[in-house]
Amino acid sequence: MSKVPLIIAREYLARTKKKSFIITTILMPILMALLVILPVYISYKSEREVTIFVYDESDSYLNKFQNTDKMKFVYPSGDLALLQKQCIDGQCDVVLQILGGSQSNLGNLYFYHEPPISLQGNIEEQMDHIIFDKTLIDTFHIDLRKYNTIKQHSKSSLVSLQIDENGKAELSTMQLNRVVGIICGFLIYFFVYLYANQVLQSTMEEKTNRIAEIIISSVKPIQFMMGKIIGIALVGITQFLIQIVAVVLILFAVQMVTPAFFSENTLSQSELIATSPEMALADSGDAIFQNGDLMNSISAYYSFPFSTIIICFFFYFLFGYLMYAALFAGVGSATDTETDSQQLILPISIPLLLSLIVVLSTTNMQSEWVRWLSIIPFTSPVAMMFRLPSGVPVWELTVSMVLLLVFWILSLWFSAKVYRTGILMYGKKTTWKELWKWFKTN
């Protein structure tokens, strides 16, 4: 086994010196940091109060808009051009022009800097209420106070709380968890298939160029295969660790360069619930910031521990890759052309692709279908990472990991038997029946 480290070093150095490896290693941390920061930043910006100057040509809306924690309505004097200039000077964020006469249900929004996306819908909703109230009074002569009293007592509200095994309740963040799960599942699929395919291409290339014959004369086929798989695995691990460290450094750099970027911290979900369920409902889609920094804001915004996600991501990437890389290596040793290899690879890669399709299409992260996929070894790397942000029972995670380890060993055993014969076989189209024969005879 003394020559295996030489094969590992050769595979490792040949790939880490490539421009594609260097470029990907640099760009991926930036992308990952953006994926972490942007949701928090968007939530942070959405909390900023928007000042709206109202220019009402019909006087139907004067002092009737309701201020909220996100919108402040002001009714200044002056013509439209003056208010627009004040908007450009930064005295307000938006100028709302409401047309006069029969067009009093129409208006224009003027802004210099892009306002929140939800602003237009919120203003339209308030205008609809004002028009509705005016119609009740002027047309149907209904007492507005009695109507509002009846409406208030007929209103319901729900707070979505998720309980863990110990009965502890936390504010549910299903949509955020689903997005994070999809990103993790897609990254697992991408990296596992990318590095496993490198094993396939490298094996086929060396077999076609007859380099394998020279190497096999010095080492055993199983040593050659293991050296190749481990060497490429180390490339993936190196890239993974560099990217994780780089993401952390980028986050701290953002905090240091812009200390006031997140000058306020987010109240945790448990604090929201303990304070008031109504408050939790009001702020379930937004972050509440007070006295903190970027890292605290990130920790409070995301409801799951990053350490658990990173550890499980590393495990499922590593052993998912090792399992598929062993199978891909066996197929690569048995084929001479790209067409033949793809025909044999397709049945192997279908489970991985199926799990990704399910992840992208399902809306229930804890459905029976997804749960079974997260336990079956050929689909668990993608499906389990999809489920993790929303919480997975410890026993299911343990069973999934153990089965993945067992099937990795079985895949390695099968591929080693195929590899021993296939790496020196030329000029013959290989079928699955032929592979099974090689497995039984070795």
User: What pLDDT does residue 152 have?
Assistant: 72
User: What pLDDT does residue 377 have?
Assistant: 93
User: What pLDDT does residue 329 have?
Assistant: 87
Give the pLDDT of the chain (442 residues) as one tens digit per residue.
567 788 888 888 888 888 888 888 888 788 777 776 776 666 665 556 889 999 998 888 888 999 988 889 999 988 999 999 999 999 999 999 999 877 888 889 898 887 777 788 889 989 988 888 888 887 777 887 877 777 776 665 555 565 666 766 555 566 667 777 788 888 889 889 888 888 888 888 877 777 776 777 677 777 888 888 899 889 888 888 887 788 778 777 766 766 554 444 444 444 444 444 444 444 444 443 344 455 555 555 555 566 788 889 889 999 999 999 999 988 888 887 777 777 888 888 899 888 888 877 876 777 788 889 999 999 999 999 888 877 788 899 999 999 999 999 998 888 888 887 777 776 667 777 777 777 777 6
CATH superfamily of 50-141: Periplasmic binding protein-like II (3.40.190.10)
User: What pLDDT does residue 277 have?
Assistant: 44
DSSP string spanning 46-107?
HTSPEEEEEEESSSSSTTTSPP-SSEEEE---S-HHHHHHHHHTTS-SEEEEE--GGGTT-E
Domain ranges of the chain: 4-42+174-441, 50-141
User: What pLDDT does residue 271 have?
Assistant: 44
**Long-range contacts of 301-308, Cβ-Cβ distance < 8 Å, separation of 24 or more:** 301/39, 301/40, 301/43, 301/266, 302/176, 302/180, 303/170, 303/171, 303/173, 303/176, 303/177, 303/269, 303/389, 304/177, 304/180, 304/388, 304/389, 304/390, 304/391, 308/388
User: What pLDDT does residue 375 have?
Assistant: 92
User: What pLDDT does residue 280 have?
Assistant: 43
Q: Residue 353: which of 332, 378, 372 has the closest Cα? A: 378
What's this model's pTM, rounded to 2 decimal places?
0.62
